[in-house]
Structure 1
Amino acid sequence: MIILLFFVLHWFLSLFSQTFFLHRYASHKMFKMNGFWEKFFYTITFLSQGSSFLNPRAYAILHRMHHAFSDTEKDPHSPHFVKDVWGMMIQTKNIYLNYAKYNEEPEEQFRDKYPSWPIIDRIGDSWVTRLVFISFYIWFYVTFATAWWMFLLLPVHFLMGPLHGAIVNWCGHKYGYSNHDNNDHSKNSLPLDFLMMGELFQNNHHKKPNSPNFASKWFEFDPTYPLMKVMHWLHIIRIRKV
């Protein structure tokens, strides 16, 4: 029971960090926050993603490219120009590393206005740090696992951030229905979306990329949006008017 609770907690905390901080804030600036809260959520993202920490700057660049070139050959992670989901993950990793390590600079339109905390980026991208997190996950399972099959969940902990991205980019551009004609293959993937905190309303999001609410129909629900409304009410963030 402890293992399953730990897995669910890690899944949703890491996913929240990706959709709230990396996607809606770093990539789209859907809301504002002061320096304290930016560093707070930067730290939460680092701790929750752990061994699979994603650099906010590199994430934002790739995501902005994804919107500009959605489902074309210049899209850094379209599922329509690769053989399988593993091939898409490798392609995304290679492009991501070029920007994370400053081996390449993006086009002007994809630069600036993303959060940056160099010391956390260096720590999070260190193999020593990644191995420390991996060791912690293994120790936790060795200590609390009550069945052999629980250890099959460990690789998910190791690659949590990239796995979330792969699920969204693969399923969100291949499976589901469309509310809007966006000249791409973006889909809304109900009912899986609930497990992805709104991220699988890709068709809605590509239609209105700056809207903080990814749901648009009466039967759609974006779990992250109410959390953002509460934080807006508490003056932790200020949601932009769209």
Structure 2
Amino acid sequence: MIIILFVLILWYGGLFFQSFFLHRYAAHQVFTMSKTMERITFILTWIFQGSSYLSAYGYGIMHRMHHAYTDTEKDPHSPSYDANVFAMMWKTKTIYQDINKQRIEVDARFTKNVPQWKAFDSFASSRFSRLLWISLYILFFAIFATAWWQWLLLPITFLMAPIHGVIINWFGHIYGYVNFKMKNTSKNLFRFDFLMMGEGYHNNHHKYASRANFGVKWYEIDLTYVIIKILDAVGLIQLKPIRVKD
């Protein structure tokens, strides 16, 4: 039971900071926060994503490119142009690293106001950091695993962020329903997104990219947005005014 709880904490904790910080803040800037709060969130993202930590700078820029080039050859991740999910993720990894290490030139429109903490990212993305988290996960399983099958969950802890990416960037463009007909293949994965905390409303998000709330229908409850509203209410972040048009 402890192992299941541990994996669930990593799943939803890592997913929340990917959605809240990397996606809605770094890429789309649907709310603002103080520099101190931003630095705290960098550290919390590292703690919960662990060995699969993603830089806000690399993720933010790559995601903006995804919206600008959705389902075209320039899209960093698209089932329409990648032979299989592994090819797509390898391509995504390469583009992400090239952006993060500034090995390629990026259009200025994609870099505007994207948060960056070079010193911390250098450490958090290092091989030492990733191996440290992997070692801690293995140690935790060695202490608390009570059945052989629980060890099958260990690889998930290593690759949590890429798994989240696969669910949205691959399956979220193949399976599901649409609320809005668009010039791309984005889908909503679930009527109630219990698995991805609102990220699964992918078709809605492509329609209204600057909205903090990814849900549109009454039953499309965006759990990340619920937390964002609470953080806004207590003054830790400041939601931007809702735009009439995107």
Q: TM-score range by the shorter chain?
A: over 0.9
Give the length in aligned residue pairs.
242
Where 2:42 maps in the other structure, the secondary structure is: helix
Alignment of 1:185 onto 2:190: no
Summarize the alignment of residues 88-103 of structure 1 with structure 2, pairs less than 5 Å apart: 88-103=88-103
Q: Which digits, 9 at most, give the CA deviation of each residue in 1:135-184, with x for residues without a partner?
A: 00000001100011111111111111111111111111111111112210
Summarize the alignment of residues 26-175 of structure 1 with structure 2, pairs less than 5 Å apart: 26-175=26-175
Give the Å deviation of 1:84: 1.4
- Contact kept in structure 2, 1:134 and 1:158, CA below 8 Å: yes
Where 1:216 maps in the other structure, the secondary structure is: coil
Distance in structure 2 (CA, Å) of the matches to 1:90 and 1:9: 26
- Contact kept in structure 1, 2:192 and 2:221, CA below 8 Å: no
Q: Which amino acid aligns with 1:119?
A: A
**Runs of 5+ in structure 2 lacking a partner?**
none
Where 1:219 maps in the other structure, the secondary structure is: coil
Q: Which digits, 9 at most, give the CA deviation of each residue in 1:34-72, with x for residues without a partner?
A: 011111111100111111111110101110000001111
What is the aligned partner in structure 2 of residue 199 from structure 1? 199
Q: Which digits, 9 at most, give the CA deviation of each residue in 1:91-141, with x for residues without a partner?
A: 100111101111112112111211111121011111011100000000000
Distance in structure 2 (CA, Å) of the matches to 1:108 and 1:114: 11
Distance in structure 1 (CA, Å) of the matches to 2:231 and 2:111: 27
- Contact kept in structure 2, 1:171 and 1:200, CA below 8 Å: no
Q: Which amino acid aligns with 1:164?
A: H
Distance in structure 2 (CA, Å) of the matches to 1:216 and 1:191: 10
- Contact kept in structure 2, 1:204 and 1:216, CA below 8 Å: yes
- Contact kept in structure 2, 1:45 and 1:53, CA below 8 Å: yes
Q: TM-score, normalised by structure 2?
A: 0.96
Distance in structure 2 (CA, Å) of the matches to 1:189 and 1:229: 23
> How much is the aligned-residue C-alpha RMSD, in angstroms?
1.0
Q: Which amino acid aligns with 1:223?
A: L
Identity of aligned residues (%): 47
Distance in structure 1 (CA, Å) of the matches to 2:81 and 2:151: 33
Give the Å deviation of 1:193: 2.6
Q: TM-score, normalised by structure 1?
A: 0.98
